[in-house]
Chains A and B, each alone.
Chain A
Amino acid sequence: MATPAPAQTIDLSARFPGILQPDTRPGYTGWIVDKSNLLEFASALKTELGYDYLSSLTGVDYLPEGKMEVVYQVYKTTGGPGVLFKVQVPRAEVVEVPSLMPVYPGVELQEREAWDMYGIKFTGHPDLRRILMWEGFAGYPLRKDWHEPYFEEEVKPFKSRWPEGKIVQAEGKNRFADNVTYPAGFDPENQTFKPEEALYDSLEKYQKAEIGLDTDHIIVNMGPQHPSTHGVFRVAVMLDGETVVNLKPVMGYLHRNHEKIGERNTYIMNMPYTDRLDYLASMSNNFGYALAVEKLMNVQPTERADYIRVMMAEMTRISNHLFLIGTLLNDLGAYFTPMLYALEERELILDIFEAVTGSRMMCNYFRFGGVARDLPEGTLQKVREIFFERLPRKIDELDRFLSENEIIRSRTVGQGVLTAEDAIKYSAAGPLARASGIPYDVRRAEPYSVYDRLEFDVCTRTHGDIYDRLMIRFDEIRQSIRIVQQVTKQIPEGPIVSMKPVYQVRVPAGEAYGRVEGPKGELGFYLISNGKPTPWRYHVRAPSFINLTAFGPMCVGQKLADAVAILGSIDIVLGEVDR
């Protein structure tokens, strides 16, 4: 069983004397940088030491100590452990930290999120607007002293449920019978509200045409209600005729406050909530969360549980890629036939999920130290039947159906190219980066669970266009089938959970970053615990969210119809983008 590699193994304090100090809080790792040295340190890390890939940026609010922190995690694309460094600033109404955009352009959306949720202003960011909430919203929601309108208690379980549990619905306690609250003295009639103004202003910079003819560019909203946007996602596109000049994604239409709710939940309660992040691949989310908490608790799962976890994770990957192939073909215009063929296979996999975990999509199967229940009778036989006899044949049929089709090729080959340098620059992860030629896969770079015992290839393709992103999914499905075939041969008998199933787990204080290779990219969970039953900070490094940083640059110069296909090939799912 692989133990995850430690966060860093090089001694940076020798290389940067006086700038860094190690983080010595119990259970914490990493380095603390002063904000005045931040840019110098980050550029040296990138250019001299080769840490070219910034994976995650997040803010933390330490209310009792009166400071706020920004946590950065960087890796090398050649593999190996990463560097975790932090900037600490005293807590105030608005705090300022220099932006890392000049060094790592992939932080664009993540810094906007830290501004939206914490009020951390990143000086030097070209377009610092709110991203998940709307402009004009009152307050910075993830701060510890900001309470939501339906606030009952700081942590669950709530006392009003037992033993005096007379049902009072949350609407009954709020004056407006709804989840709203307004600042004191607020008069809605004497004001106009303009939540869209900042968005259109940021696009206006590209208004003037470069060539001689005096034409106007127009802004078109591919709005939240659109058949091809994979959910409630909006894109404000500035068009010159049919060609895209600039593009701003607008998200937050499905912002379900996963991180704030996560801070109120106990550790076991968060497990079903992680299902709803990337709702097409629920068990890979469970996997990442279970790994992060197990790192904090220093608990290892049993061997049989590890094999079951890997089998479920790979089946989830196949089910996700099948859905993606179907929807990408839908976006290209092949209305529904390839989708029906792909969904048919997916239904058979979902049947297995339903028999083992209890639900087709929201599986809630992983627990700390193993899995929730053992495989029922006949499951392994069913898995063998499908993965040895049916699925390889059907994937080959789907491949034959699609891959040489001239219409698909002319629409996708050479369109929406993302070069390898751009992929690293914009922090692209998963199949998006691998289709551009970067062979980075967390299952090989930092092996977790039993992946180091299994044989599989890391799939890459070279051109980085939409066609490669479609074909790489077929490659990955074939590798996942190979992994599941090996697991069914190697799986041992034994217990399925290594600690007693209790509903109040004891998690020691500290921080942990657990990451897995989800179907969409590197899915990471950053957890900070202060010894209490609930996490202090719970952040999800969502691959779909960060992959969208590359969406704008990829689409410039393409036609609007290609922008739809490019969005389909990035593979976003809004539950993860908005959290």
Chain B
Amino acid sequence: MSDMYGKGILKGLGVSLKRFADTYLDDLKWLGRRYGTDQGIAHRSGKDASGIFTVQYPEEKLPMPEEFRFIPFLVYDEGPNGEKNLRCTSCGICSKVCPPQCIWILRSSDPVTGRPIPDPADFFIDADICMNCGLCAEYCPFDAIKMDHDYEQASFGRNVLNKAQLSKSAKYYESIRPANAQRENAARLAKEAARVGKAA
């Protein structure tokens, strides 16, 4: 019996029908816990995903992996009286390594002696130029600038961010990048211990 003309189309339609039926069968298998729950989102992003693939933003947000990079931010450590101690020493490496040169740093100087203080007087990032490459965070020697996870930055005007808008706490940083923060804190403590040991 020769191949019927139209068999290929019917095969294709069979695939679509199976996927259509799957959308109902998968919903039934999960019995209402499929939408709005973390396991449901994980199921829809995993290897057994079948049926409706949609992650319904804004009610359900896909969790961002730790390495995700959006616009950078400056990390500050909270002092004992609640003051914000920025880790940035305005060394300028991030502005030198930024590919589109979107970082402007104004180094502050001591009003009496005129020598530079390791603290930025002001820090600008033009978010309309930033290409989210992460080179600034990668080459900062003081763990002072890191890439943020917050992608909800749509606005009605242009986005030039200054020091106040860019500063976020170290606690926030640890909450978004726990493994990285742990590794960096351990390295910093080890370096401190080595320095104290050498001085003693």
Contacts and interface: CB of A to CB of B under 8 A. Distances in A.
A351 interface: yes
Interface string B42-57: 0001111100010000
B11 A404 contact: yes
Interface string A382-401: 10011001100000010011
- Chain A, interface residues (CB within 8 Å), range: 35 or more
Which among B47, B131, B138 has the highest number of chain A CB atoms within 10 Å?
Answer: B47
A227 interface: no
Nearest to A161: B95
A265 interface: yes
B147 A358 contact: yes
Given A165-B105, A167-B104, A355-B67, A269 B99 contact: yes
A355 B45 CA distance: 13
B46 to A, nearest CB: 8
B67 A357 contact: yes
B116 A163 contact: yes
A279 to B, nearest CB: 12
Given A162-B96, A166-B104, A406 B134 contact: no
Which among A162, A265, A344, A372 has the highest number of chain B CB atoms within 10 Å?
Answer: A162
B133 A364 contact: yes
A265 B99 contact: yes
Contacts of B98: 157, 161, 269
A376 B47 contact: no
Contact of A344 (B6, B53, B131): B53
Interface residues of B, number: 50
A267 to B, nearest CB: 11
B7 A358 contact: no
B134 A364 contact: yes
Q: From DSSP, what is the main secondary structure of chain B's interface residues?
A: mixed
Interface string B123-157: 01010000111110011000000010000000000
Contacts of A390: 47-48
A354 interface: yes
B188 interface: no
Contacts of B45: 348, 351
Contact of B105 (A161, A337, A397, A407): A161
A163 B131 CA distance: 22
Given A376-B179, A390-B47, A400-B11, A362 B104 contact: no
A408 B12 CA distance: 11
Interface in A163-208: 163-167, 169
A9 interface: no
A385 to B, nearest CB: 4
Contact of B133 (A362, A377, A382, A406): A362
Contacts of A166: 104, 106, 122
A162 B101 contact: no
A266 B66 CA distance: 28
Nearest to B96: A157
A272 interface: yes
Nearest to A266: B97
A273 B132 CA distance: 11
Interface string A323-360: 00000000000000100010010011001001111110
B179 A358 contact: no
A288 to B, nearest CB: 18
A162 B95 contact: yes
Given A268-B135, A400-B11, A406-B9, A358 B69 contact: yes
Contacts of B21: none
9 contacts: A162-B95, A163-B106, A164-B106, A165-B103, A341-B19, A385-B47, A400-B11, A503-B97, A503-B135
Q: Which 3 A-B pairs have the closest CB atoms?
A: A404-B8, A165-B104, A162-B92
